[in-house]
Structure 1
Amino acid sequence: MRSQHPLVSDTRWLALKDAVSSIRPLQIKDGSIPDAENHALATGLVDRISTSITELAPEFPHDHAYLTALVADFRRWADDGFAVPDFLDSLVAFAPANNRVDGLPHLVVFPMYTQNGNLDRNVEAVLLQVIWPEFVAELEAGDYSNKLFLPIRFLDFTAGYDTNSAVLFPETIAMRELPKFTWGGIFADREAARFRRVVAEAAQVTGLQLPPDAARLVADQDLAEQTFVMWDLIHDRTHMHGDLPFDPFMIKQRMPFFLYSLEEMRCDLTAFRESVELEKQGNPYARLVQYAVIFDRIFRFSITGARVRNYDGLGGQLLFAWLHQHRVLHWTDNRLTIEWDKVTEPVLELGRRIEDLYWRSIDRPKVAHWLAAYELVSSVVTPHPLSAWARYTAGDREALPLDGPPKGLTDHVLPDEFPLSMFFEALDKKMKDVVAGTAGITG
């Protein structure tokens, strides 16, 4: 088990964490503190936050410019009467991806929301460190360059990260304008820890016999972290490469959620494909990435989160059903088995089907692309019986308003357009507490 980092018990950090935790209840959704009766208390808390940051700054000489600007942003927020916070100056000064050194710590304090966590822009404080093993550095320096990619590990955090959030993205931070972002952080320790817990339980529930190297992956946190860093590097890079029919990060777009499912699966299956090639070259983590993609998608993603436009869940359902229909995954006598000597080609074929959909999209109108995407997904995962999209695909040309704007088509997608199969309904009942228990987990 990894020993606790000394900064976690440092009195300066504990003072900062306490002050941040005290100011959070004073804020409303946009991060402001509108109640003037709370301003005196908030001013005192900002003083404590600023003092703690200044006292901690010598521990982070690589972040000197950022921490200096951070204190100035906090002071200005207080001087401006705690309006909607603007931390653009400190955000621009923070460039952690410029210095990716394994184990390098950072102190991060921003008013922000946390994806898959707290949707309010509260002040959060996080101690973290970079995960940058040599083999990942070599991959990034070669065919998988991604200067924005920042794999990180939690050391300690405030309440907004005691959730399912496993990312630190600059676009979630309160600021007056959007700059050019230079980094995006992914907490590989949380990804690895919840993967290990869910897969271990799912294998027991389904009677799945894990191959020896997959069992080793599930048992070893450090090994799982490095595997996820490799997966995330290739996945994240893929969002910006290929025959893209739309903004790869899907920001400020309103589309049927199954298109988001296909984008995430495109990136995951690219990571799978590349890991197959890297395995041939002798990369010791490549086979583990393949196991991670399959197990995380079919076991954790499929049954995690609400059944409302759950695009990650649908991606897991798609992969499971595809493997089952290609007869390399079997549910027989209440036991799950996977033919590992045959599973690679069907996974690669699903990736090719999605890539072909993207390639053809360049020659299609938007609505035609959406319909083609739906046909691909619905050919594998059964839609809801009340689905208007399914009726249209079956030949009822009056089921969808094709004569109006695309928004009308999106409105006709059911919140749970592709309900869980009987397999996943049963698995969800047995795994619900385990999946819920992974909130806030770290390595």
Structure 2
Amino acid sequence: MNNFIVKNFLWKFIKRLANLNLSLSILSLIALFCILGSIIEQEQVSSYYLLNYSNYSIFILSFGLDHVFSTWWFIVILFIFILSLLSCTFFTQLPTLKNARRWKFMYNKKNSNSSSYVFSNYPKLNYSFTNIIYSLIRLNFFVFSRSSSIYSYKGLYGRIAPIFVHFSIVTILVGSVYSFLSSFMVQELVPRGELFHIKNTVHAGLSSRLPSNLLFHIDDFYINYNANNSIKQFFSLISVSRNNEKIINSKLVFVNKPLRLNQISMYQTDWQVDAIRLSFGKDYSIQKQLIKTNLNNNNCWVAGVVIENKKQIFFVLRSLENRVLICDSNGLILSEVSFGQQIYINEIPVIIQDIITSTGIQIKSDPGISFVYLGFFIMILSTFISYISYSQVWINTSINHINFFGSTNRAILLFEQETLSLQKIYFSYISLKDFSTNKVNFILR
């Protein structure tokens, strides 16, 4: 008995979710929270909200407005909206479609719907019933006949479109929730020639799993420059191996050209110059950090080396393609050398061995995005299909006439043109029949 009461309650609750006003209210609530999520910066540290939203920081942090789209209450609202759409589909749209497919014969004028359009009465002649059926078929109507009545329709796909719109929205929402729960984003800044694992997580869903068996290697990093020395593009050659075994993938990655492996995408996002490696003589080498600065509105990197009596020389790098300037503490240029070129400082041979650079790699996994794309594709397709007019035609015969009734849900002018075409086709069949009859009579004579 208790199970029956619970099932009855759930059944009534689900049927009430099919209410259009309720669905619109839930949709408005979702839109409101989406606006809040767009206005308030998401996924920031608590101190950010305490500093920038001092009057509302407690409210924002208490209700999770700092991560609206991954809060439990937002996901619950989405789930209720999905139930509302599904209940509307199964309790309203599908019965409407089923009713549209029924044969609705009309035997007199009193049966006609007040919203139908009565266009004309055709004279009843020999073979009129057959001629009107052929005329409707030529206009791509589905025709059904019973006794002295005809029912026909076309454009049933237009009635199917709202169902697919609902399913597309459900697919988009399910894909979004799946993304919230299972996606992750990692940001790495890796020196050229180094190995790295996925570890510096920026965002991770509750059910996301970072692939621990993948090992990445930055084989190379370089930059292409324009003629004016501005950056044209920067590239990273990345190799991927599994469980320290052989390389399973290798690709040159640059902006808008990621490396994709299974459900993981690796994007080139940033770069930086880290250090300069110098060798003094045959046995001594050092590595000095390059500090980024601005000189005449151009970026450059500077590293200082103490040579003797606290005197310094500075190595200035303007780009990865340019030569390195060697300056004294007063800013005077002492020399300009290339990578690998040997120079003498205080009679000591010095070689610039390498410029150490790092590449910024963003690693993302979003398994729900395919569902979102599929949902939008179905929505766009069903939107176009919804413009197909659903038209119905009823025909019954009286003693001297054929009565014609018709209705459509959109494109009334087009439907009126179709009825005129139907009339022309019908009378053309009649004239052909009369002509063939006269011809036969003439021959028989």
Same fold judged by TM-score > 0.5? no
TM-score, length-scaled by structure 1: 0.19
Over alpha carbons, which structure has the higher Rg? 2
- Whichever structure has more helix as a proportion of its residues is 1
Higher relative contact order by CA 8 Å / sep ≥ 6: 1 or 2? 2
TM-score, length-scaled by structure 2: 0.19
- Whichever structure has more strand as a proportion of its residues is 2
